[in-house]
Amino acid sequence: MKTTKENMTQNTQPYKGTRDFYPEDKRLQKWMFSKWREVCESFGYEEYDGPILEPLELYTSKTSEEVVNEQTYSFTDRGGRSVVMRPEMTPTVSRMVAARRQELGYPLRLYSIPNCFRYERTQRGRTREFWQLNADLFGIEGIEAEMEILLLTDRLMTVFGAKRNMYEIRLNSRKLLNSQIDKSDPSVEQQEVVRLVDKRDKMPEADFLSELKKLVSKPDQLLKFLDTKDISNIEDPAADGLKELLEMAKDNGMTNVVFMPSVARGFDYYTDIVFEVFDLDPENNRAMFGGGRYDGLVAEFGVEPVPTIGIAPGDVTLQNFLESWDLLPKLETETNLYVVLVGEVFEGAQKIVSKLRDEGVRVAVDMSGRKVGKQIETAVKKGIPYLLVIGEEELKSEQFKLKDLASGEEKEYSLERVVSTVLAE
């Protein structure tokens, strides 16, 4: 059978919206995830995981309608069940908490880094498979939970080298927003107004106003609220928590936490405090990720409610952020030593190599039989820092030529010195 060029290109491309992770890409991902883990664990969050596949019902009435109806990868399994590949993690973790509602200790701190799938048109910052950190705090009703999540969010940015002038944490409250909507018109459908408010910055102001007038008979009260910059001007009991939270954030030196009445978030399950982390780079001015309180979700599984607040930063948006602020590190290969073989010494060299591995050196052996120059080129290409030459002479003398590939320096060492030199870095 003839393989056509067309087939070749199709076969080597990853499926639309997914990414192949070659070693240099995977290194970056591992680096980001390890930072996420480091920060979460420093707050006492424990890692969990759940299945990629979930029954469709898990998402109906929990996630936003559009996400469930139009953006899921779904299929019917051989038993006739509707199955989806998880578009987000929150329903899964809520299900898990509900299942062991009584035996889990509260406050319960959980985090996970799941890959999620959404059938969407791809664009900057948006793929069809993505990873997101989900960190959730269960069992605390008070504003202290929000405060912890804000501190966590802040660290999740600064751990990557982000400065406070690079991003802003914008706070609002669904409860407050709904209360303000009620005041302007008690009969109005809150959810629709919330959605409209969420879109305000992205549409012409005139359109926003005319849309708003369709939904609210007396929009002036609401507009006044939306244009409020200083929360202390708002006299509404629903704003109390927010005021307290802003005060606490300020006391903790978080100068980039602000009140933003237009922040609403798309998911239906949020109940009170919501927030978004904004990239302040004018070239990439957008919400990177958000979070908020969703006190009702666990109770959807028929158990007593568990107050919950969580955040979910994504890998793609984070990477865009780090790129635009030049915060991506140069990551090197995990391998620290490349062994060049000269002559028929493969078997003899294995004993040396095993000793090196026993000492914790990560060694790759070139058994290609190519000339030394070619073997060195390969080591350089892979970015391996050290090179060890093993031939008949070395096996006899037990003295080895260790080459520092960056400087080009080469020295004769005993195996012991090889180990200590290579691991010194």
Partner RNA sequence: GUGGCUGUAGCUCAGUUGGUUAGAGCGCCAGUUUGUGGUACUGGAUGUCGUGGGUUCAACUCCCAUCAGCCACCCCA
Asked if 219 and 183 count as a contact pair (C-beta separation under 8 A), the reply is no
Minimum CB separation of residue 168 from RNA in Å reads: 14
How, if at all, do strands 337-341 and 386-390 pair?
parallel
- Please choose, from the candidates 359, 391, 392, 354, the residue with its C-alpha nearest in 3D space to the C-alpha of residue 375: 391
Mode of pairing for the β-strands spanning 167-173 and 273-279? antiparallel
55 is written with which tokens?
A: 């029954």
CB of 140 to RNA, least distance (A): 21
Contact segment (CB under 7 A) with RNA among 52-60, 159-167, 192-200, 230-238 equals 192-200
* Interaction of residue 195 with RNA, rule CB under 7 A: yes
Q: Which of residues 10-69 bind RNA (CB under 7 A)?
A: 13, 16-17, 64, 66-67
DSSP string computed for 173-190: EHHHHHHHHHHH-TTS-H
**Which of 233, 243, 219 lies closest to 171, judged by CA?**
243
The CB-of-171 to RNA minimum distance in angstroms stands at 15
Q: How far is CA 376 from CA 237, 338, 344, 357, 383, in A?
A: 71, 8, 18, 20, 11
DSSP string, 358-377: HTT--EEEE-S---HHHHHH
Footprint (CB under 7 A) of RNA, residues 135-174: none
Task: Please report whether residue 198 would count as binding RNA according to CB under 7 A.
Answer: yes
**Max Cα-Cα span within the chain:** 93
* Count of residues that interact with RNA, criterion CB under 7 A: 66
Binding mask 80-99 for RNA (x = CB under 7 A): --------x-----------
For residue 267, state whether it binds RNA (rule: CB under 7 A).
yes
Interface residue with RNA among 405, 413, 417, 423 (CB under 7 A) is 405
| Residue 287 sits in the site that holds RNA (CB under 7 A) | yes
Neighbours of 282 (CB within 10 A): 7
Nearer of residues 364 and 405 to RNA, judged by Cβ: 405
105 binds RNA (CB under 7 A): no
- Tally of CA atoms within 13 A in the half-sphere of 162 that contains its CB: 28
400/409 Cα distance (integer angstroms): 13
Site for RNA in 200-219 (CB under 7 A): 202-203
Q: Can residue 394 be called a binding residue for RNA (CB under 7 A)? A: yes
With binding defined as CB under 7 A, does residue 393 bind RNA? yes
Rounded distance, CA 269 to CA 65, Å?
Answer: 11
Instruction: Give yes or no for a contact between 68 and 105, defined as CB atoms under 8 angstroms apart.
Output: no
CB of 85 to RNA, least distance (A): 12
Tell me the closest approach of the beta carbon of residue 89 to RNA, in angstroms: 9
What sections of 273-337 are H helices per DSSP?
Answer: 315-324
Q: Considering the complex, state which of residue 75 and residue 106 has its C-beta at the smaller distance from RNA.
A: 75
Taking the complex as a whole, how short is the minimal distance between the CB of residue 260 and RNA, in angstroms?
14
297 to 356, contacts with RNA by CB under 7 A? 312-317, 342-343
Smallest gap from Cβ 155 to RNA, in A, equals 17
Query: Cβ of residue 56: shortest distance to RNA, in angstroms?
Result: 17
Question: Which spans of this chain sit near RNA (rule: CB under 7 A)?
Answer: 4-6, 9, 13, 16-17, 64, 66-67, 71, 88, 118, 120-128, 130, 132, 195, 198-199, 202-203, 265-267, 286-290, 312-317, 342-343, 370-374, 376-377, 380-381, 389, 391-394, 401, 403, 405-408, 410
